[in-house]
Structure 1
Amino acid sequence: MKPVRVPDLRVMKERGEKIAVLTAYDYTMARLLDRAGVDIILVGDSVGMVVLGFDNTLPVTLDMMIHHTKAVSRGAKRALIVADMPFLTFQLGMEEAMRNAGRLIQEGGAAAVKIEGGGSHIVETANRLVDIGIPVMGHLGLTPQSVHQLGGFRPQGRDSEAAERLLKDADVLEKAGVFAIVLESIPAELAGRVTSSLKVPTIGIGAGPECDGQVLVSYDMLGLSEGPVPPFAKQYTQLSEQIVSAARAYIEDVRRSTSEAGEAQGRAERERGSAASREARNLN
């Protein structure tokens, strides 16, 4: 199948074709999602919570993201690979932001990066990255790297002032050159307004059906997450229970086979002992 490129996404929006996005953090998952035909694989800083066991995404470093992005880029050959820029990798200055984004592309193998927020500094950073040839995906609404400022993982854009601010942020991000915008945990009506106001596609997560595409954390979608799952995250299977069941069956097999092996060894030793006794009697 033909690889998905950044320009293809706007064509999909124009045609009314929905864009399917899932997260991956390793080679094997990337291969499986690629085989399934997902359009974009997001190497999210959600790896910190889903795979590494952190309470939020803030402890995730650039080196961690490069490590996981490398694995995903080796596994996926069709899907567009987008890597999150983690906390403090794009907020401390333009030169550092360009260097860090470049490392995700050059070392990690990503085709694009995603940055959170819509303030003037973020817009300027997005514009500069696009200018030097790095495709940028925006992210508005619930931005997990601002979890403390937001007071937790709470829905956003619920009042008119917040909604208007988000609409404005989406507009300036589009003008800055982003190729798509993730809309997280905002009212469906607001997501629809944003989507219809933009030429670039919107990717929703907990933002209703009117977005141009949808993204889920693959571990949530597959029923692999051990902790609470967001109410909007549809679980298409329950792999966690299947894994536990399979592991228990394996453990039972190991213990049974060990016991059976011990019994067989005992029988063999007894048989050797009996044979030796018979041979001794024959000699006498």
Structure 2
Amino acid sequence: MSHLPPPDRPATTIPLLQQWARDSRRLVMTTAYDAVTARLADPIVDMILVGDSVGNVCLGFDNTLPVSMAMMNHHLEAVARTRPRALLVADMPYLSYHLSPEETLRNAGGFLQRGAAAVKLEGGAKRLAIVRALIDCEIPVMGHLGLTPQSVHAMGGFKVQGRGTHDAVQILEDAHRLQEAGCFALVLEGIPSELAAKITQTLSIPTIGIGAGPHCSGQVLVLHDVLGLTQGHRPKFVRTYVDGFDLLQQALSHWAEDVRRSVFPSAAESYSLPAASQKAVCTWVKPQSGDQSEAR
């Protein structure tokens, strides 16, 4: 039995997401960085995030800091061309919302012009003015608290946040500040499940967890992690549902072997000439060097 929604389902909107959360319907978000992954994810999830995690997942960087607006625009445009029904959210990369309100509005507005329905940015109290400015310009904002990857150096690495009393209360208070500033939802990453539960219980907007336990309004994972396409260390909070890397590598290996054994392509994968053209080609004889000038 298929678990896919009908192909003509209505587009997911922010009010609809918020209503689903109020109705205790769990929300599902994953990443997409190109047309292929967007088409793969769209029939299944409620939200697609064009994340700056593209830096780690697709571009070979150690973290998200080198990701630029130009890179994000490139990947967002590829995803947006598929016209997803899921809500399309674009990550504001490092330094795209730190320097001035004017540049922030230009960058975020450019995302909406390229097809995003909302933007996501990291941080708490320090981001309130920026969030309000974006909301005032009708740009929906998803917040992001806890383990914020753009702060990897300040945090001393990718570590669970909010375990200490002061830090836990700070994250809880920041969540309420972001809601008051106008965020329509919050990503909670890498925090204890009890803290995420308290935040979810006391907010009126949805929370999307990643490494934040089971009590959030919904969950997000990187698509490549779910499908087992990443190699090396995987965080504790990742559950992989298929060994995609191995399966795809096996398929590619089978094709390469068929090429080397001369069994690919077969007649079924080849084109044929019409009879008259085939006869002309088969009877063609290379002209002698003296004949070539006459032919010209």
| TM-score w.r.t. length of structure 1 | 0.89
| Distance across 1 between alignment mates of 2:37 and 2:84 | 13
Match of 1:13 among 21, 26, 42: 21
Query: For residue 216 of structure 1, what is the aligned residue in structure 2?
Result: 221
> How many residues were matched structurally?
258
Contact 2:125/2:178, CA 8 A, preserved across alignment: no
Unmatched 5+ residue regions in structure 1? 262-284
1:196 aligns with 2:177: no
Partner secondary structure for residue 105 of structure 1: helix
Partner secondary structure for residue 228 of structure 1: coil
Partner secondary structure for residue 257 of structure 1: coil
1:61 aligns with 2:68: yes
Cα displacement (A) at 1:3: 0.5
1:102 aligns with 2:109: yes
| Distance across 1 between alignment mates of 2:19 and 2:37 | 27
Cα displacement (A) at 1:138: 0.1
Query: For residue 117 of structure 1, what is the aligned residue in structure 2?
Result: 123
Match of 1:90 among 80, 97, 101: 97
| Distance across 1 between alignment mates of 2:258 and 2:98 | 53
| Distance across 2 between alignment mates of 1:74 and 1:200 | 29
Query: For residue 159 of structure 1, what is the aligned residue in structure 2?
Result: 164
Contact 1:129/1:135, CA 8 A, preserved across alignment: yes
Contact 1:21/1:42, CA 8 A, preserved across alignment: yes
| TM-score w.r.t. length of structure 2 | 0.85
| Distance across 1 between alignment mates of 2:198 and 2:261 | 61
| Distance across 2 between alignment mates of 1:118 and 1:44 | 19
Contact 1:30/1:76, CA 8 A, preserved across alignment: no
Cα displacement (A) at 1:119: 2.4
What amino acid does structure 2 have at the position aligned with 1:210?
H
| Distance across 2 between alignment mates of 1:249 and 1:128 | 54
| Distance across 1 between alignment mates of 2:91 and 2:63 | 14
**Structure 1 residues 217-274: Cα deviation after superposition (integer angstroms, max 9, x where no partner):** 000000000231111111011110011101110110000007999xxxxxxxxxxxxx
| Distance across 1 between alignment mates of 2:143 and 2:259 | 50
Cα displacement (A) at 1:10: 1.1
| Distance across 2 between alignment mates of 1:60 and 1:145 | 10
Contact 2:259/2:265, CA 8 A, preserved across alignment: no
Query: For residue 32 of structure 1, what is the aligned residue in structure 2?
Result: 40
Contact 2:125/2:177, CA 8 A, preserved across alignment: no
1:146 aligns with 2:151: yes
Partner secondary structure for residue 81 of structure 2: helix
**Structure 1 residues 22-63: Cα deviation after superposition (integer angstroms, max 9, x where no partner):** 00000011011112x200000000000000000000000001
Match of 1:238 among 234, 243, 264: 243
| Distance across 1 between alignment mates of 2:37 and 2:232 | 20
Partner secondary structure for residue 21 of structure 2: helix
| Distance across 1 between alignment mates of 2:106 and 2:265 | 60
| Distance across 2 between alignment mates of 1:55 and 1:96 | 26
Relative distance call for 1:260 and 1:140 in structure 2 (3 A) is closer
Unmatched 5+ residue regions in structure 2? 1-8, 267-296
Contact 1:180/1:203, CA 8 A, preserved across alignment: yes
Cα displacement (A) at 1:9: 1.4
Higher helix share: 1
Query: For residue 182 of structure 1, what is the aligned residue in structure 2?
Result: 187
